[in-house]
Amino acid sequence: MILTADIGNTNITLGFFDNDCNTPFCISRMATHRHRTADQYAIELKSIFELEKIGTDFEGAIISSVVPELTRIFKAAIEKVAGCKVIIVAAGVKNGLKIATDNPKEVGADLVAGAVGALAQYELPCLVMDLGTATKISLIDENGVFAGCTIAPGIGISLDALSMRTSQLPTIELSAPKHAYGTNTIECIRAGTVLGNAAMLDGMASRIEKELGKPIKTLVATGGLAKEVVACCEKEIIYNKDLILQGLLIIYKKNR
């Protein structure tokens, strides 16, 4: 059994894989708390294992993290509970991905894992759309090279800012609207947020394709907020909730 962990700014996503399977048999999430200790995370991990009836027979584990202050803490928590070696996605870890940005070390571990997962499964060129705390669109060109990405404020951040900085607009539950314009406040916000982000994905894909000068063969989306938005896009976008975890599994196998 292999444990994969993607530490994001809002959530930590855990994926549990059997050694001969590329699809996680269990996915669990916990909130990202920057001030927790390794012991506190170990207790939460142990509770998840017990809740999901998962033993501790782990071959190994791998972490991608965009929260540097938690990376070593969470590694220690996994080692304490699972008793296995933990790989951290960073410079020097084999991933099979060529990165053609100005400073490859700046590319987040989550972007690397998502790109590796897409490279193994989809026709190129490919756009990987990760809708989490930030909305990120990565370009993998026809040669399998990570050519660059775009980063925008995520849907959750936008909704939080809207409710915090206005006097009369409420916090809402995110769901797809029935129309492109609303007749009440909640539907208005849903239309602007969900359809606005869907239009952004469609528009950015078209702009990137135009600059690339050749058709984008695959659009794939992942992340906690992707499902609702992708369903409202005009372009054909594959929704793969496991993409980053699958990429982590591939990286783990290259380094074990």
Known catalytic residues? 110
| The residue to which tokens 């790989």 are assigned | 87
Alpha carbon distance 106, 191 (integer Å):
34
| The residue to which tokens 């054909």 are assigned | 236
| The residue to which tokens 């409202």 are assigned | 232
Direct distance between the N- and C-terminal alpha carbons of the chain, in angstroms, rounded to an integer: 13
Which of 43, 44, 55 shows the shortest CA–CA distance to 12? Answer: 44
The C-alpha angle with vertex 140 and arms to 4 and 151, in degrees rounded to 5, equals: 75
What's the token pair of residue 250?
A: 């591939």
DSSP 98: E
Sign of the C-alpha dihedral, residues 188, 194, 199, 204? Answer: positive
The C-alpha angle with vertex 61 and arms to 44 and 59, in degrees rounded to 5, equals: 110
CB 209 within 8 A of CB 216: yes
CB 43 within 8 A of CB 36: no
What's the token pair of residue 198?
A: 């869907």
